[in-house]
Amino acid sequence: MPNDESASSIPTALPSNAPDDTRIAAAVEAYDDAAVARATFAMDRAKDSRVRDYAQLVRDRHHEAKMRLSSLAVVPYVAVPPTSLQQAVGPSQLGFDREYVDVETREQSALLQLLDHATPETKTAELRKRLVDLRPQVADLWVRGFELQQILAAP
């Protein structure tokens, strides 16, 4: 698996003839892959312990979610785990922490939108249940990220 730290977080597109549930699972798994990659990157670089703890939680939840989804369907095209954080690594560690939390919060929000749109379109009850179970976990990560953004923005 390539480790391109500047790759886009847009999930890899599946062929339009792929079954709907496969495309939905692949899109969600791509977000999981990306979140795990960003979190792993951030855990080694974040200065603030709250940011490291948040990254660990993100990594754990998305790794577990990917494992649960991958047991349902073999996804032929998995996205390269991306991160846009490499530019933020430098002299300002607080800048990195803020950038990671901003990116992660934005990506959790995007995943929530995907889940809200895709869940009703699933064809199998098993995939629908997995997505319904995942949503509150992602919503919690978004809330925690938003709260952490407010803390890090304070002077």
Is-contact 105 146, C-beta < 8 A?
yes
Give tens-digit pLDDT for 106-133: 999 999 999 999 999 999 999 999 999 9
pLDDT of residue 84: 52
For the chain, percent of residues with pLDDT exceeding 70: 74
Give tens-digit pLDDT for 43-68: 988 999 999 999 999 999 999 999 88
- Which DSSP letter does residue 84 get? S
The predicted model gives 90-107 an average pLDDT of 81
User: For residue 80, what are its two tokens?
Assistant: 């390269």
The CATH class given to the 20-153 domain equals mainly alpha
Q: What share of the chain is helix, strand, coil (3-state, %, to 5)?
A: 70, 0, 30
* Residue extents of the structural domains in the chain: 20-153
**Rounded Cα gap, residues 86 and 34, in angstroms:** 14
Is-contact 55 105, C-beta < 8 A?
no
